[in-house]
Structure 1
Amino acid sequence: MNTKTHEAVVFGQHPLTIEQVNAIARREADIRLQDDEAFCARIRKGAQFLDSLLDREGVIYGVTTGYGDSCVVSVPLEQVEALPRGLFTFHGCGMGQHFSAAETRMILAARLQSLCFGMSGVRLELLQRLTQFLQEDVLPLIPEEGSVGASGDLTPLSYVAATLSGERKVLYRGQVRDAAEIHKKLGWKPLKLRPKEALALMNGTAAMTGVACDVYARAEYLLQLATRITALNMVALEGNTRHFDETLFLAKPHAGQVQVAAWLRDDLDGIESPEFCLNGLHRLQDRYSLRCAPHVLGILADSLPWLRTFIETELNSANDNPIIDADQERVLHGGHFYGGHIAFAMDSLKNLIANVADLLDRQLALLVDTRYNHGLPSNLSGAPSDVAMINHGFKAVQIAVSAWTAEALKNTMPASVFSRSTECHNQDKVSMGTIAARDARRNLELTEQVAAAVLLAARQGVWLRQQQGQVEMGEALEGMLLALASDYPPLTHDRALEAELRQCVGQIRERIWRLYA
Structure 2
Amino acid sequence: MHLADIAQLTPRTVRFDQNRLTIEDIVDIAHGRANAALSDDPAFRAAIQRGADFLDRLLREDGTIYGVTTGYGDSCTVNVPLDLVPDLPHHLYTYHGVGLGEYFTPAQTRAILASRLASLSKGYSGVSVELLLQITRLLDAGLLPLIPSEGSVGASGDLTPLSYLAAVLCGEREVWRDGAQVPAAQALREAGIAPLRLRPKEGLAIMNGTAVMTALACLAYARAEYLTKLSTRITAMASFAMDGNAHHFDEVLFAAKPHGGMQQVAAWLRGDLPTSQWERNGKRLQDRYSIRCAPHVIGVLADAMPMFRTMIENELNSANDNPLIDADNERVLHGGHFYGGHIAFAMDGMKNAVANLADLLDRQMALLVDSRYNHGLPANLSGAKGERAPINHGLKALQISASAWTAEALKATMPASVFSRSTECHNQDKVSMGTIAARDCLRVLDLTEQVVAALLITVRQGVWLRRQVSPELQAHAALAAMQDALAADIKPVEEDRRLEPDLRLMLERIRAQAWDLYA
Corresponding residue of 2:132: 127
Corresponding residue of 1:370: 371
Corresponding residue of 1:425: 426
SS of equivalent to 2:368: helix
Corresponding residue of 1:295: 296
> Is residue 516 of structure 2 the alignment partner of residue 511 of structure 1?
no
Structure 1 runs (4+) deviating above 6 angstroms are none
Once the two structures are TM-superposed, the CA of residue 466 in structure 1 deviates from its matched residue by 1.0
SS of equivalent to 1:429: coil
Corresponding residue of 1:94: 99
Corresponding residue of 1:178: 183
Distance 1:510 1:326, change over 3 A: same
Corresponding residue of 2:262: 257
Kept in 1, the 8 Å contact 2:36–2:114? The answer is no
CA distance, structure 1, for counterparts of residue 276 and residue 135 of structure 2: 54
Once the two structures are TM-superposed, the CA of residue 270 in structure 1 deviates from its matched residue by 5.5
CA distance, structure 2, for counterparts of residue 138 and residue 6 of structure 1: 18
Corresponding residue of 2:249: 244
> Is residue 52 of structure 2 the alignment partner of residue 50 of structure 1?
no
Q: Deviations over 1:11-68 (max 9, x none)?
A: 1111111111111011011321111110010000000000000001111110000000
| Aligned amino acid, residue 440 of structure 2 | D
Kept in 2, the 8 Å contact 1:87–1:198? The answer is yes
CA distance, structure 1, for counterparts of residue 325 and residue 36 of structure 2: 26
Q: Deviations over 1:329-387 (max 9, x none)?
A: 00000000000000000000000000000000000000000110001000000001211
Once the two structures are TM-superposed, the CA of residue 274 in structure 1 deviates from its matched residue by 4.5
Kept in 2, the 8 Å contact 1:42–1:118? The answer is yes
Distance 1:5 1:369, change over 3 A: farther
Kept in 2, the 8 Å contact 1:4–1:27? The answer is no
| Aligned amino acid, residue 179 of structure 1 | A
Pairing partner for 1:189 from 184, 194, 197: 194
> Is residue 496 of structure 2 the alignment partner of residue 491 of structure 1?
no
> Is residue 34 of structure 2 the alignment partner of residue 32 of structure 1?
no
CA distance, structure 1, for counterparts of residue 302 and residue 491 of structure 2: 32
| Aligned amino acid, residue 499 of structure 1 | P
Corresponding residue of 1:311: 312
SS of equivalent to 1:105: helix
Once the two structures are TM-superposed, the CA of residue 486 in structure 1 deviates from its matched residue by 1.7
Kept in 2, the 8 Å contact 1:459–1:481? The answer is yes
CA distance, structure 1, for counterparts of residue 252 and residue 489 of structure 2: 39
SS of equivalent to 2:489: coil
Corresponding residue of 1:74: 79
Q: Deviations over 1:64-106 (max 9, x none)?
A: 0000010000000000000000000000000000001100010
> Is residue 114 of structure 2 the alignment partner of residue 112 of structure 1?
no
CA distance, structure 2, for counterparts of residue 470 and residue 438 of structure 1: 47
Pairing partner for 2:69 from 64, 67, 75: 64
Q: Deviations over 1:108-146 (max 9, x none)?
A: 000000000000000000001111111222100000000
Pairing partner for 1:160 from 151, 156, 165: 165
Q: Deviations over 1:133-160 (max 9, x none)?
A: 1122210000000000000000000000
SS of equivalent to 2:228: helix
CA distance, structure 1, for counterparts of residue 202 and residue 307 of structure 2: 32
SS of equivalent to 1:32: strand
- Give the RMSD, CA atoms, in angstroms: 1.2
Pairing partner for 1:475 from 474, 477, 481: 477
CA distance, structure 1, for counterparts of residue 276 and residue 304 of structure 2: 30
> Is residue 268 of structure 2 the alignment partner of residue 266 of structure 1?
no
CA distance, structure 1, for counterparts of residue 403 and residue 277 of structure 2: 31
SS of equivalent to 1:447: helix
Q: Once structures 1 and 2 are overlaid, which stretch shifts more, 319-328 or 384-393?
A: 384-393
Q: Once structures 1 and 2 are overlaid, which stretch shifts more, 230-239 or 26-35?
A: 26-35
SS of equivalent to 2:403: helix
| TM-score normalised according to structure 1 size | 0.98
Once the two structures are TM-superposed, the CA of residue 256 in structure 1 deviates from its matched residue by 0.2
User: Which residues in structure 2 correspond to 1:448-467 (within 5 Å)?
Assistant: 448-467=449-468
> Is residue 502 of structure 2 the alignment partner of residue 500 of structure 1?
yes
Corresponding residue of 1:409: 410
Distance 1:370 1:294, change over 3 A: same
SS of equivalent to 1:81: helix
Once the two structures are TM-superposed, the CA of residue 475 in structure 1 deviates from its matched residue by 1.1
SS of equivalent to 2:196: coil
Structure 1 unpaired stretches of 5+ = none
| Aligned amino acid, residue 471 of structure 1 | L
Q: Deviations over 1:193-243 (max 9, x none)?
A: 011000000000000000000000000000000000000001100000000
CA distance, structure 1, for counterparts of residue 179 and residue 149 of structure 2: 19
Corresponding residue of 1:226: 231
Kept in 2, the 8 Å contact 1:241–1:272? The answer is no
Structure 2 unpaired stretches of 5+ = 1-6
Kept in 2, the 8 Å contact 1:381–1:492? The answer is yes
| Aligned amino acid, residue 295 of structure 2 | P
SS of equivalent to 1:10: strand
SS of equivalent to 1:148: coil
CA distance, structure 2, for counterparts of residue 294 and residue 119 of structure 1: 44
CA distance, structure 1, for counterparts of residue 10 and residue 185 of structure 2: 32
CA distance, structure 2, for counterparts of residue 235 and residue 310 of structure 1: 37
User: Which residues in structure 2 correspond to 1:433-444 (within 5 Å)?
Assistant: 433-444=434-445
Q: Deviations over 1:389-443 (max 9, x none)?
A: 1110000000001100000111110000000000000000000000000000000
Kept in 2, the 8 Å contact 1:4–1:30? The answer is no
| Aligned amino acid, residue 112 of structure 2 | I
Once the two structures are TM-superposed, the CA of residue 4 in structure 1 deviates from its matched residue by 4.0
How many aligned positions are there?
Answer: 513
Kept in 1, the 8 Å contact 2:162–2:212? The answer is yes
| Aligned amino acid, residue 354 of structure 1 | A
Kept in 1, the 8 Å contact 2:11–2:32? The answer is no
CA distance, structure 2, for counterparts of residue 394 and residue 433 of structure 1: 38
Once the two structures are TM-superposed, the CA of residue 470 in structure 1 deviates from its matched residue by 3.2
User: Which residues in structure 2 correspond to 1:382-401 (within 5 Å)?
Assistant: 382-401=383-402
CA distance, structure 1, for counterparts of residue 447 and residue 188 of structure 2: 38
Report sequence identity in percent: 63
Kept in 2, the 8 Å contact 1:4–1:29? The answer is no
